Amino acid sequence: MSDSPVSPTPSAPADAAEDNTPAIVGYLFGIGLIIAAVMHSNKKTQLGAYHLRQALGILLIAIAGSVALTMVAFVVMFMAGIPVIGWGLIEGVRLLSWIFRLALLVLTILGILAAANRERKPLPVIGALCQKYFASLFA
């Protein structure tokens, strides 16, 4: 045994890994955003705040888009009795719904990748708007 004191292991890598955990978890819809917000409130970081705003934007767009598509589908249901036109509208709404879901999935994956790489990279189309309108959140 030596008499020299044991130096503690550096905590920089752990802090760096902790820094992007709320950012990544925030993209897991609904409950993930709540968990990430609680994690972020315990240790606020700029990266965490940035990605929480992005994730909130995706979540709000998902909710608003789902409500809008449901309302359109409800209206189209009444038109389903019209041959050809009604059926075409139903298929159009179904296709639009799949495109919407795919777009949300792509945005979510892009956000997770940026958070995992510790980048503050805005999401396509909505990223700058999320930062602008939710600037005071998670600060």
pLDDT under 70: residue ranges of the chain? 1-18, 80-84
Give the per-residue pLDDT at 9.
36
Give the per-residue pLDDT at 64.
96
DSSP for 54-121?
A: HHHHHHHHHHHHHHHHHHHHHHHHHHTTSTTHHHHHHHHHHHHHHHHHHHHHHHHHHHHHHHHTT---
Kindly give, in sequence order, each residue whose CB lies less than 8 Å from that of residue 116, ignoring residues fewer than 6 positions away. 20, 24
| pLDDT tens string 109-138 | 999 999 999 999 999 999 999 999 999 888
CA–CA gap between residue 138 and residue 10 (Å, rounded): 28
Give the per-residue pLDDT at 6.
44
Task: For the chain, give percent helix, strand, coil, nearest 5.
Answer: 70, 0, 30
Give the per-residue pLDDT at 126.
93
